[in-house]
Amino acid sequence: MALPIQIHTLIVEDSEEDTELLVRELQKGGYDPIYERVETRESLLAALDHRRWDIIFSDYTMPQFKGTEALALLRERGNDTPFLFVSGTIGEDRAVAAMKAGADDYIIKGNLKRLVPAVNRELREAEVRRERKKAEEALQESNQTLEAIVQSSPLAIIAIDPAGKVQMWNPAAEQILGWSAEEVLGHPIPIRPEERKQEAGPAAHEAKKFVNLERQYKRKDGVLIEASISTSLLCNNKGEISGVMWIIADITERKRSEATIKGMAYYDTLTGLPNRTLLHDRLQQAIPAAAGENKSVGLLLLDLDHFREINDTLGHPRGDALLQLIGPRLQAVLQPSDTIARMGGDEFAVLLPRIDSEQAVLAAGNLLKALEKPFLIEGIPIVIEASIGIALSPDHGENPERLIQHADIAMYVAKENKKGVALYSSEVDKHSPRRLALLGELRDAIENNHLFLLYQPKIHLWTRRVIGVEALVRWQHPRYGVIPPDQFITIAEHSGLIKPLTLWVVKSALDQCKVWRQEGRDLNVAVNLSARNLEDPELPDQIAGLLEASGVAPSSLNLEITESALMVNPVHAMEILTRLNNMAIQLSIDDFGTGYSSLGYLKKLPVNQIKIDKSFVKEMATDEEDAIIVRSTIELTHNLGLKVVAEGVESQEVLEKLAALDCDAAQGYHISRPLPPSELDTWFSKTAPAKGWNL
Question: Which residues are at the interface with ligand C2E (CB under 6 A)?
Answer: 456, 472-473, 484-486, 489, 505, 528-530, 560, 590-591, 614, 648-650, 668-669, 674
- The answer to the question of residue 528 lying near Ca ion (CB under 5 A) is yes
Cβ 611 to ligand C2E shortest distance, Å: 8
Question: In 262-346, where do the E strands start and end?
Answer: 296-305, 339-344
Can you state the angle between helices 67-76 and 41-50, rounded to 10 degrees? 40
**CA-to-CA separations, 531 to 225, 545, 592, in angstroms, rounded:** 52, 21, 15
Residue 505 C-beta: closest distance to ligand C2E, Å: 4
CB of residue 444 to ligand C2E, shortest distance in Å: 18
For the chain, the helix, strand and coil percentages under 3-state DSSP, each to the nearest 5: 50, 25, 25
Cα separation of 234 and 466, whole Å?
102
Q: Give the CA-trace dihedral at 623, 629, 635, 641, to 10 degrees.
A: -130
User: Which of Ca ion, ligand C2E, none lies near 13, with the C-beta cut-off 5 to 8 A by kind?
Assistant: none
3-class state of residue 348 by DSSP = strand
Angle formed at CA 459 by CA 458 and CA 461, multiple of 5 degrees? 140
* Integer Rg of the chain from CA: 52
- The set of residues, in sequence order, having a beta carbon less than 8 Å from that of 58 and lying 6+ positions away, is 11, 12, 13, 67, 70, 71, 83, 84, 85, 86
Query: What does 327 bind: Ca ion, ligand C2E, none (CB cut-off 5 to 8 Å by kind)?
Result: none
- Distance in Å, CB of 387 to ligand C2E, minimum: 16
The residue with its CB nearest to ligand C2E is 668
Residue 486's binding partner, choosing from ligand C2E, Ca ion, none, with beta-carbon cut-off 5 to 8 A by kind?
A: ligand C2E
Q: Which is nearer to Ca ion, 104 or 560 (CB)?
A: 560
Are the C-beta atoms of residues 84 and 107 closer than 8 Å to each other?
yes
DSSP per-residue codes, 495-537: HTTHHHHHHHHHHHHHHHHHHHHHTT---EEEEEE-GGGGG-T
Residue 87 contact among ligand C2E, Ca ion, none, beta carbon within 5 to 8 Å by kind: none
Q: Does 560 bind Ca ion (CB under 5 A)?
A: yes
Give the chain's end-to-end CA distance (angstroms, integer): 151
CB of 418 to ligand C2E, least distance (A): 9
Per DSSP, the three-state class of 397 is coil
Assign 16 to helix, strand or coil: helix
Binding-site partner at residue 484 among Ca ion, ligand C2E, none, CB < 5 to 8 Å by type: ligand C2E
Closest alpha carbon to 367 in 424, 304, 279: 304
Q: Closest separation between CB of residue 343 and ligand C2E, Å?
A: 28
Which residues have a Cβ under 8 Å from the Cβ of 208 and sit 6 or more positions away?
232, 233, 235
> Min. distance of Cβ 280 from ligand C2E in angstroms?
37
Between residue 366 and residue 395, which ones bind Ca ion under the rule CB under 5 A? none
Strand pairing category for 211-218 and 481-483: unpaired
Q: Which stretch binds Ca ion (CB under 5 A): 99-107, 252-260, 316-324, 524-532?
A: 524-532
Q: Shortest gap between Cβ of 456 and ligand C2E (angstroms)?
A: 6
> DSSP readout, 185-250?
BTSB--S-HHHHHHHHHHHHHSTT--EEEEEEEE-TTS-EEEEEEEEEEEE-TTS-EEEEEEEEEE
Cβ proximity to ligand C2E: between 494 and 614 the closer is 614
From the list Ca ion, ligand C2E, none, partner contacted by residue 275 (C-beta under 5 to 8 A by kind): none
CA 430 vs. chain centroid, Å, equals 37
Which of 13, 591, 626, 664 is close enough to bind Ca ion by CB under 5 A?
Answer: 591
With vertex at residue 451, the alpha carbon angle to CA 446 and CA 455, rounded to the nearest 5 degrees, is 135
Question: Which residue, 275 or 528, has its beta carbon nearer to Ca ion?
Answer: 528
Min. distance of Cβ 266 from ligand C2E in angstroms? Answer: 41
Minimum separation from the CB atom of position 614 to ligand C2E (A): 5
- Closer residue to ligand C2E, CB minimum distance, 454 or 602: 454
**Which of residues 274 and 648 has its CB atom nearest to ligand C2E in the complex?**
648
* Nearest distance, CB of residue 472 and ligand C2E, angstroms: 4
Give the nearer residue to Ca ion in terms of CB position, either 278 or 620: 620
Site residues for Ca ion per CB under 5 A: 528, 560, 590-591
